[in-house]
Amino acid sequence: MKPPPQVPPAGTGGWAAPPGGSGKPSAMDALHEAGIHAAVALQAGPPWLEQFWLFLTSHLDPNSIYTVCFPLARGLDERVSLMVLWIALVAEWLNVVLKWFLFGERPYWWIHESGLSSQEQLPLRQFPVTCETGPGSPSGHCMILGAALWPVVTALSKGVSRYTRSRLLRLIPFLIYILLLVAMGLSRIFVLAHFPHQVVTGSLAGMALGWGLQRWPPNFLKCRFFLLTALGLLLSALALHGLATAAGLDLDWSLRRASARCWEPAWLRPETRPWASLCRVSGSALGLALAARHPLSRRAAEELRGLEPPLGSAALGLLALDMLHKLPKSDEAALWYLNVGARYTLGPVLVASLLPQLILILRRLRAAP
């Protein structure tokens, strides 16, 4: 199959020798080739390890931060859960913009576009989670996970410090966090979605972003701030895309390469496209605005704190979001994106406002004579 037209600028992949050169691959090509051989080594591992990589990359994707980590974080603290959501949406927006302008390759198409697959026998396989359609750098899985889990890890570390003065024990949550990021990075290399340098940069960027955003948290009771954030993130992404297109940059090149090199068309999931991410981001910010518009009263919040840790609210929120996101979507593109935005708008309202009030009403009814 011929390579798709309008590929990214030279230097982002391929083995073409420079004029008058020796024909040796560039430093980036050598980095990509080393990543391919790392994927070969990982895919040669035992079957149980393969199942672990697939489970990790499938169940801790960016979507799960909004639908699983966000509601479960209420088991620690309401503010921690809101910080998880806030940091995740900022990290995902930034990840989309970086991918647009860094033109990162993905292993599953680079081995063909570069000609490496015709030079070596590579025992590599694709999986249903392989065929991401956006550019590859930096890794969104690692960046968003690393950023969004930072408030959870710091809250756990503070919780441990209440019971022990041991510095080693206080570092255990951070150690688990680092190991989780390493495992996530290896899983993304295993499924041929990313090169090693992309998961490293994504993890480091996520950690830095999580640390920085936690130091300057927003006021979660300010509806106007989150309303302007939702509008600003969407309009700024549209403006950047329009300016890049006007400047002659082709930001849809990765979709054509993904379509050409993915083994199964059904594996090209629409939720991996940049505009799906932007719908998720803008919808979540709008949901935070609506939740801030109708917060719990001070008395209700104090009564709910009596359930510490609020495991009931966390479990109910997890169940509600699971049911919400399992509802069918329209096949028409515009309606599909609108549907995604609406679901992620409703999520924060359910978890941060409606369900806690429902729990309080049920408790009061149960306590009534």
Q: Which residues are catalytic?
A: 141, 194
| Of 150, 133, 155, nearest in space to 260 by CA | 133
Tokens for 258, please give them: 């993904």
Output the CA torsion 346→348→351→355 (10° steps). -50
Residue 48 burial class via C-beta count within 10 angstroms: exposed 0-12, middle 13-18, buried 19 and up: exposed
Concatenate the DSSP letters of all residues of 135-148 into one string.
--SS-HHHHHHHHH
Q: Tell whether the torsion through CA atoms of 132, 86, 73 and 318 is positive or negative.
A: negative
Cβ contacts of 36 within 8 Å, gap of 6 or more? 107, 110, 111, 116, 122, 124
Tokens for 208, please give them: 């830095």
Q: What gap in Å lies between CA 133 and CA 251, rounded to an integer?
A: 11
DSSP class of residue 162 equals T
